[in-house]
Structure 1
């Protein structure tokens, strides 16, 4: 059965040497107490939770799965106890506002915890992740009365949260949703409709569940401009002030899924359920995107977490499994560990080059999130917000695609033993297949990138990010000129592809959809190159007192990335420029 060890050494290297946590985050107003020493202590405790409590439940949770019966959901054995420990230890409050009972630690620390939790047990991590999104949405858009009512129990972990968007007849096109909300005359609303694919929509872990529901007010404008957001709790407050009166919302069933089987994906029926408006009428998408962007960054971290867990499994197996006797002069009489074979190493490095670079990139994004919220200079805060808007679809889609590649590579290391359930590595593939699908499919992310994000601020934001990449190229040019040249070539390919899309999208209405996937892959490779350049510079600048073994490892993995992964950028650049013709030449009945 797979085991998990939290990569604390990796986090310490990235925070201290690659990303300057002390200067970039701990120096921000309100984060002065979040010193590297404190963060190290927090992460060590989080590692113990992930390794000792959550990882042992991963396989059993997958085997048992959630069970729905008479409108209620029972989570697998051990999950209630693990969640109680998670709650009692204060983890739900880690990054929340101290005003409402939170600990107020930096967002980037919460994201590291999320990686450890999801690597140990991704299904468990979904319950906590959606609650954090609900906290963020209510904090950003709720009235003070709403905050006082809902935030303390959510932050305390006694309550959990959900995101209710999808309906049976509409998925990504939320303008089609039919759920309605009628004013009740007392400041509340009566919400009626059906929502599906609600992660954590019903379970037995918390005392209450707060559903954040998209619905239409009477006479609301058509389309997404007529959508509002409501907080609809599973249970309402009784006269004795306890939240014990059942609201008119019922779980009509849960999905039987390919993966994350211990995460309850529910269908909910709202039949005049009591709810409260979050934010302004008909501005629900703005409020919901606060939650969705949290979720998209969170699933980017999930992608890295699963690849890390699968890589750990595959590495252990490759060191222990003996097959073959080496090649050429290295041949021996007895079977050798399969890690001796070049193709096994290739599979391991597919995972390792992704995990190391992606972790550095999402940590950099997490730091931008903290700077967006806390930096005293409004211009810096605005710039960080724009960078996150640009990179969110890239992180979500590119990471989830590459993570699926990495978990498959881990199965390949096991050979036929990876295909059977006994070894446990196949679960990472099944669990990870959802990540390219939920929180907006990767096709939607690509369309968002090419249609909206690269034109953000009339193209100034993407130009600013390209300038950051150029700075890293310049900083690496004397240290590793061969790496710098490859990244420079890839950046030029990305610039050229960007110009091609901007110039051709108006004349070709199908260009964005046709080019989106390949353009996003190209952008993701360059963004990973940006992160790897930071790692290379840090590894080469470590003094004698630094971890020289780790530095040497990073440079060898960087060599694999820059010579065998990043050159894929040229292929994607060429594919973008084929336009929509190869796709749109067919008529429907020719498929």
Structure 2
């Protein structure tokens, strides 16, 4: 079925659940009020529905390929990307002085969700460029910003992120790519990088690579890594693509999904690069891009979940099988199918709310420089990324189940959702790493930011007690259990924390999702209350065993050796 953007959800979340009005009330985002937000989202929805969505199956069936060192993209992708670029969507959150729209991250996040739902393979490219734009805005020299930002923001050039090497995946500090100083102040970059999304494209005149490498005096590990901007074509005096740099695409990966998104193995043979930020501080600069990308990946998961749910619902409404309580009717009348559809819908709303809440916190941090908003944004980033992408995977698989045997048949497209979304739990930091980040770096404050969020959940539950006393009570109690678990967790040693990090993050997300559903039901009533009952009575109770597991520590896990597990 055709994809339809969830504009009603966005409106409800922004206007009545997440307090987007606070963002629009700041001087920085004063021009992005409710009317502007609605117009922006409506136009992005039109683009996603009519231009990008028709490309989704094309990209899957006719994926990117490498011909004579040039990546040939899927049919229609050049035109689709051009529509994204000409609409200003690549640079929608970029600074106006560099040609960007200066829109809040909240609106950019909603737009990225819609484009991900429509055609994830194509959306990956603009997302990476957006991350590079932010990294250069914060860490690039004046000369780099002047040359590269206007072209990246306009979507004329594309940007990538080069971290991973064959021996250095999650352990970035093990990288071997080296950077040797040149007499002119640039650097010669030599090494190989793998898993480089959109490392080349036949419709872009230049690709700008952000590459992590080690200078000769760089210390071992991540503390000795620097970041370099390495373009495919070196800009001439006028800023136009000049001579070809000494880099190449060695091969494209053959992947489970995202066939339309070229995943390149990149070779750098003394390629000319420019230092971004300070020497040996490359990871700090790269994390600016990675945090942007992690929120973007979160809504990639949400977008696929929304698209998979819409298709499953449409299929179920037209599929007649067996007798139901109302007679022979579509399978939507079967209780178990209702259960799956309701669960899908509730999870999507929860994940969307968490991601947009993270975006609101980012906007408030940028607009006010308030430490509490900065802490809130940092805390929510790993939760949004992990829960959003887990939701994408779970909902896509439920979509296959609702299709029955036809879900296992490629012609329906249900399987493509599951294949495409699978990588989102892996790239930009696996979801296990997100959980470890949550309980380590993000709780270095002793859990203060987490507990402040728990306080808000309980305050929201108290406000809803008069109208929805049973649901409000359940949410308040779950938040209290999360408070107790958080206070226990911050007293554990790090190995014990890590052993329970994933279930703790999941429980946190369930509480935050239930809070969003409760606020939506309190504000809008009707079907929103019925959906909130599903979320709070069927999804939320999972928090209890998850928090019990989070408290167990690591001893029992290390009591089993690999030999024991294989026995």
**TM-score using structure 2 length:** 0.97
* Structure-2 residue corresponding to 1:422: 411
The Cα shift of 1:487 comes to: 1.5
Correspondence for 2:402 among 385, 396, 413: 413
* Structure-1 residue corresponding to 2:17: 18
* Structure-2 residue corresponding to 1:496: 484
* Structure-2 residue corresponding to 1:459: 447
The Cα shift of 1:260 comes to: 0.8
Moved more, 151-160 or 4-13: 4-13
Structure 1: how far apart are the matches of 2:19 and 2:557?
45
CA deviation string 1:430-475 (max 9, x = no partner) = 11110110001111111111222123x2332222122112211211
* Structure-2 residue corresponding to 1:441: 430
Q: CA contact under 8 A between 1:529 and 1:566: conserved in structure 2?
A: yes
Structure 1: how far apart are the matches of 2:108 and 2:203?
21
The Cα shift of 1:239 comes to: 5.9
Structure 2: how far apart are the matches of 1:590 and 1:201?
43
The Cα shift of 1:512 comes to: 2.4
Structure 1: how far apart are the matches of 2:344 and 2:96?
38
Moved more, 3-12 or 222-231: 3-12
* Structure-1 residue corresponding to 2:251: 253
Q: CA contact under 8 A between 2:172 and 2:222: conserved in structure 1?
A: yes
CA deviation string 1:266-312 (max 9, x = no partner) = 11011111111111111111110000000101111111101000010
Structure 2: how far apart are the matches of 1:265 and 1:534?
41
Q: CA contact under 8 A between 1:358 and 1:531: conserved in structure 2?
A: no
CA deviation string 1:479-507 (max 9, x = no partner) = 212112212222222223223323332xx
Structure 2: how far apart are the matches of 1:290 and 1:190?
24
Please state whether the residue corresponding to 1:182 is helix, strand or coil: strand
Correspondence for 1:480 among 468, 472, 487: 468
The Cα shift of 1:426 comes to: 1.0
Residue 102 in structure 1 maps to residue 100 in structure 2? yes
1:85-164 equivalences in 2 (<5 Å): 85-164=83-162
* Structure-2 residue corresponding to 1:522: 507
The Cα shift of 1:241 comes to: 4.9
Structure 2: how far apart are the matches of 1:387 and 1:253?
41
Correspondence for 1:369 among 358, 362, 373: 362
Q: CA contact under 8 A between 2:157 and 2:208: conserved in structure 1?
A: yes
Residue 555 in structure 1 maps to residue 529 in structure 2? yes
Please state whether the residue corresponding to 2:208 is helix, strand or coil: strand
* Structure-1 residue corresponding to 2:561: 587
Structure 2: how far apart are the matches of 1:241 and 1:386?
39
Please state whether the residue corresponding to 1:32 is helix, strand or coil: coil
Moved more, 294-303 or 525-534: 525-534
Query: Unaligned regions of 5+ residues in structure 2, if any?
Result: none
Q: CA contact under 8 A between 2:517 and 2:531: conserved in structure 1?
A: no
Structure 2: how far apart are the matches of 1:417 and 1:117?
26
The Cα shift of 1:341 comes to: 0.8
The Cα shift of 1:240 comes to: 6.5
Structure 1: how far apart are the matches of 2:210 and 2:423?
21
Q: CA contact under 8 A between 1:131 and 1:162: conserved in structure 2?
A: yes
Residue 564 in structure 1 maps to residue 538 in structure 2? yes
1:186-197 equivalences in 2 (<5 Å): 186-197=184-195
Please state whether the residue corresponding to 1:297 is helix, strand or coil: helix
Correspondence for 2:298 among 293, 300, 303: 300
Q: CA contact under 8 A between 2:91 and 2:130: conserved in structure 1?
A: no
* Structure-2 residue corresponding to 1:544: none
Structure 2: how far apart are the matches of 1:361 and 1:65?
32
Report the RMSD for the aligned CA atoms in angstroms: 1.5
Residue 575 in structure 1 maps to residue 564 in structure 2? no
Residue 353 in structure 1 maps to residue 342 in structure 2? no
Structure 2: how far apart are the matches of 1:223 and 1:436?
25
Q: CA contact under 8 A between 2:348 and 2:391: conserved in structure 1?
A: no
The Cα shift of 1:258 comes to: 0.5
Q: CA contact under 8 A between 1:311 and 1:348: conserved in structure 2?
A: yes
The Cα shift of 1:113 comes to: 0.9
Correspondence for 1:291 among 289, 292, 301: 289
Q: CA contact under 8 A between 1:350 and 1:409: conserved in structure 2?
A: no
Please state whether the residue corresponding to 2:323 is helix, strand or coil: coil
Aligned residues: 565
CA deviation string 1:296-347 (max 9, x = no partner) = 01111111101000010011111111112223xx3x3xx3011111111111
Structure 2: how far apart are the matches of 1:239 and 1:572?
59
The Cα shift of 1:564 comes to: 0.5
Please state whether the residue corresponding to 1:193 is helix, strand or coil: strand
Structure 1: how far apart are the matches of 2:429 and 2:361?
22
The Cα shift of 1:528 comes to: 1.4
List structure 1 segments (4+ residues) > 3 angstroms apart after TM superposition: 238-241
Q: CA contact under 8 A between 1:201 and 1:264: conserved in structure 2?
A: yes
Q: CA contact under 8 A between 1:96 and 1:104: conserved in structure 2?
A: yes
* Structure-1 residue corresponding to 2:171: 173
